[in-house]
Chains A and B, each alone.
Chain A
């Protein structure tokens, strides 16, 4: 269990984390999402007592991290930047960490096998690829067999097999009753791994919700209608809570009406429809919409809406199934 209360971190006049309160419960994977610079890594460093909060506090299992007598057994962490001396071998790195809390050598061998680094365990960590470094970081996190895992972008640099492996590992660890807190930029990845989400933007809490709830709330319920009588249908659909837009000739984007209703209106007025497609926003879109105002670093030409459109066409295909059933 991780509990953050009004956690705030300022670096000079830059506020990285602002009045953040949340609880990460055991038994499930909790995703920690936010755009670049949102303050995810900073929050995680504060949980580990590496950065001192400007105000507020965070506890792990009821105590500040530093107050635990055996911290490596309490919390295992993978930090964003590699926390490994490049001149030391993976095996010796783990051996040195293990020594601080009396973990036996056999456990070091165990975690090395677990993350699949056996062949390179005696090589200098400085020569490791991104994915190998990430695996070594995960091995360090698992070393003390901790109740709580804090992983900052663990899939970063992993190959597809590695991503699948970590996804299953995290779920298995949570199923054993552990607290698993994982940061990511990828909503779609979290939808597959996490059950709960904490979303932040510019250091502030944006959402603290279950993944299921997030997905249902994310559905914007717009309907795409393609018809040769676009102008006429547009007039018929007009109403106080309805917005109809059209970017392509003969195609309407309707918000505020169900596809059933639109179909009925069209039939009553003998308007031919070529296409009637309800569209639920993809997770990535919903995430971007949610954090849209809070995005800190953005390429100048690419506004969130442009990104959302690109995602929309991809999402339309998967939304087609929904439509058939409806």
Chain B
């Protein structure tokens, strides 16, 4: 080791690429597309949504002629085939959570944060990659479900056109709602860092809160609280007929986005502050 005797000159390398937000996004995109589990949860979500849409509309087609007039009036040809959204949100929510917790449980997060030590670019990149993928696929699925269902409904003449009032917004809204559900999952994943904990928190908020809210309905409090619960507010955008007089579609959706933004801000602060 004779080289050691002289004062060594630091090595200067050919590659000196800076870390940029764009590069971190590219890295997150590579990470996303190279995990089989992310593909599977999307496929499961899409499959479930389409299956439910088909199931509902085919069942409707065969039963509709035998229904009472009162029952026939209750049929909502846009919302009914959209019931799959409840399964879709499970898939997309889990995917959002796993985007982050998958890295914490495997230790990958330390590699990610060493590569991008400013940290926040990693969160933004994950959120962006997730948003683009989830929104594209979920919106496409929503339209597929809609048109499949209406083509089945056309034989019983209850089909709606996409140009009917509110229909485009509702179908479009389904993709938007699901995307924000997933983003809430991303944020909760970053806050809680364990898969089970974050999934429990996400579906506690989306599914359990509204049930508890119904208890409040027995009191005068119900009307003041229920419309503002995250999923109640968020789902207004995909409803053709507003289920809540106090919450219009877009304000409801933006309130839901607001919850996700707050969660994402909390995630960002914690990511920056905590030990990895």
> Which of A's residues lie within 8 Å of B, judged by CB?
26-28, 45, 48-52, 61, 65-66, 68-73, 75, 77, 79, 81-89, 92-93, 95-97, 99-104, 107, 140, 144-147, 171, 174-178, 195
**Cβ-defined contact, A66 with B117, below 8 A:** yes
> Which of B's residues lie within 8 Å of A, judged by CB?
1, 3-4, 7-19, 23-24, 26-28, 30-31, 34-37, 102-103, 106-111, 113-118, 273, 275-276
**Cβ-defined contact, B11 with A83, below 8 A:** no
27 contacts between A and B (CB under 8 A): A26-B8, A28-B4, A45-B110, A48-B110, A48-B114, A51-B275, A66-B117, A68-B117, A69-B19, A70-B17, A71-B116, A72-B115, A79-B107, A84-B106, A84-B111, A85-B31, A96-B30, A97-B27, A99-B27, A100-B23, A100-B24, A100-B116, A103-B17, A104-B15, A144-B15, A175-B4, A177-B3
**Cβ-defined contact, B4 with A70, below 8 A:** no
B4 to chain A, nearest CB (A): 5
**Cβ-defined contact, B34 with A88, below 8 A:** yes
A84, A171, A177, A195 — which one has the most chain B CB atoms within 10 A of its CB? Answer: A177
Q: Which residue on chain B has the smallest CB distance to residue A52?
A: B275
A27-B3 CB under 8 A given contacts A50-B113, A69-B18, A83-B107? yes
Measured CA separation A78–B244 after assembly (Å): 55
New A-B contacts (10) at CB < 8 Å, excluding given A85-B106, A174-B1 = A50-B113, A70-B19, A73-B16, A85-B102, A92-B30, A97-B111, A102-B23, A174-B4, A177-B3, A178-B10
**Cβ-defined contact, A101 with B3, below 8 A:** no
Q: Which of A70, A79, A87, A95 contacts B18 (CB 8 A)?
A: A70
Q: Which residue on chain A has the smallest CB distance to residue B2?
A: A175
Measured CA separation A300–B260 after assembly (Å): 52
Which residues from chain B contact A144 at a C-beta distance below 8 Å? 13, 15
B188 to chain A, nearest CB (A): 19
Measured CA separation A238–B276 after assembly (Å): 59
B18, B24, B108 — which one has the most chain A CB atoms within 10 A of its CB? Answer: B108
Measured CA separation A49–B1 after assembly (Å): 32
Which residues from chain A contact B34 at a C-beta distance below 8 Å? 88-89, 92, 95-96
The 4 closest A-B pairs by CB, nearest first: A102-B17, A27-B8, A177-B8, A66-B117
Measured CA separation A117–B222 after assembly (Å): 61
A49-B117 CB under 8 A given contacts A85-B103, A101-B18? yes
Which residues from chain B contact A175 at a C-beta distance below 8 Å? 1, 3-4
Q: Which residue on chain B has the smallest CB distance to residue A126?
A: B106
**Cβ-defined contact, B30 with A176, below 8 A:** no
Measured CA separation A79–B106 after assembly (Å): 13
